[in-house]
Amino acid sequence: MSARPESPASPIRLVDYAPPAWRVTDAALEFDLGIDSTEVISHLTLRRDAEAPLRLDGEGLELLSIALDGAPLAAGQWRHVDNVLEVDDVRDGSVLTTRARVQPAANTALEGLYLSGSREAGFLLTQCEAEGFRHITFFPDRPDVLARYTVTLRADRARFPVLLAGGNPDGAGELPDGRHWARFVDPHPKPCYLFALVAGRLEKIERDYVTAEGRAVKLVIWSEANAIDSCHYAMDALERSMRWDEQAYGRSYDLDVFHVVATHDFNMGAMENKGLNIFNAKYLLADPDTTTDDEYKAVEAVVAHEYFHNWSGNRVTCRDWFQLSLKEGLTVFREQQFSADMNSAPLKRIEDVALLRRAQFPEDAGPLAHPVRPAEYREINNFYTATVYEKGAELVRMLAGRLGAEGFRRGMDRYFAVNDGRAATIEDFLAALGEANDIDLMPYLAWYGQSGTPRLRARGYYDATAQRYTLTLSQHTLPSATQPDKHAVPIPVKLALFDPDGAMLPLHLDGQAHGSEAVVVLDATERSLVFDRVPRPPVPSLLRGFSAPVLLECDYAPAELALLLTHDPDGFNRWEAGQQLAARAFDDCRAGGGDALEAWTGALARLFDDRNLDAALLADLLTPPGEIELAERQETVDPTHIHELRQTMQRMLGQAIGTENLERRYRELAVSGPLALDAAGKAVRRLKRRVLELMALLAPETAHALATMQFHSAEGMTDRLAALAVLVRGGAANAPEALGNFRKRHADNPLAMDKWFAVQAQIPGEPALARVQLLEQDPAFTLKNPNRARALLGTFASGNPSGFHRPDGAGYRLLAERLATLDALNPQIAARLATAFNGWQRLEPVRREAARHALSDLAGRPGLSRNLSEIVASVLSR
Residues annotated catalytic, as ranges: 306
CA-CA distance, 505 to 351, in Å (whole number)? 28
DSSP 835-855: GGGTTGGGB-HHHHHHHHHHH
Chain-centroid distance, C-alpha 816: 24
Burial class of 455 by CB neighbour count within 10 A (0 to 12, 13 to 18, 19+): middle
Q: How far apart are CA 432 and CA 480, in angstroms?
A: 32
The string of DSSP letters for 760-823 reads: HHT--STHHHHHHHHHHTSTT--TTSHHHHIIIIIHHHHH-HHHHS-TTSHHHHHHHHHHHHHH
**Is the separation of the CB atoms in 548 and 322 below 8 Å?**
no
Determine the angle formed by the axes of helices 750-761 and 767-776, rounding to 10 degrees: 150
Q: How far apart are CA 120 and CA 32, in angstroms?
A: 18
8 Å CB contact between 363 and 838: yes
Q: What are phi and psi of 119, to 5 degrees?
A: -60, -35
- 793 Cβ neighbours under 8 A, 6+ residues apart: 761, 772, 815, 818, 833
Q: Report the C-alpha gap between 258 and 76 in whole angstroms.
A: 45
Secondary structure (DSSP) of 438-460: T---GGGHHHHH--S--EEEEEE
518 to 49, 507, 547: CA distances (angstroms): 51, 8, 11
- Contacts for 672-679: CB closer than 8 Å, 24+ residues apart: 672/713, 674/715, 675/288, 675/715, 675/716, 677/288, 677/293, 677/296, 679/343, 679/344, 679/616
Rounded-to-integer distance, Cα 825 and Cα 842, Å: 31
Q: Measured between alpha carbons, how far apart are the two ends of the chain, in Å?
A: 33
Burial degree of 748 (CB within 10 A; 0-12, 13-18, 19+)? exposed
**Rounded Cα–Cα distance for residues 635 and 719 (Å):** 38
Enumerate helices (H) and strands (E) in the chain, giving the number of each: 29, 33
Query: Going by C-beta distance under 8 Å and a sequence separation of 6 or more, which residues neighbour residue 213?
Result: 252
**Is residue 317 a contact partner of residue 129, using CB atoms and an 8 Å limit?**
no
**How many C-beta neighbours within 10 Å does residue 582 have?**
28
**In contact, 48 and 170? CB cutoff 8 Å:** no
- Per-position DSSP letters for 631-693, written without gaps between them: HTT-SSB-HHHHHHHHHHHHHHHHHHH-HHHHHHHHHHHT---S---SHHHHHHHHHHHHHHH
CA of 259: how far to CAs of 136, 142, 275, 282, in Å?
Answer: 21, 25, 6, 17
Q: What angle do CA 187, 29, 54 make, to 5 degrees?
A: 95
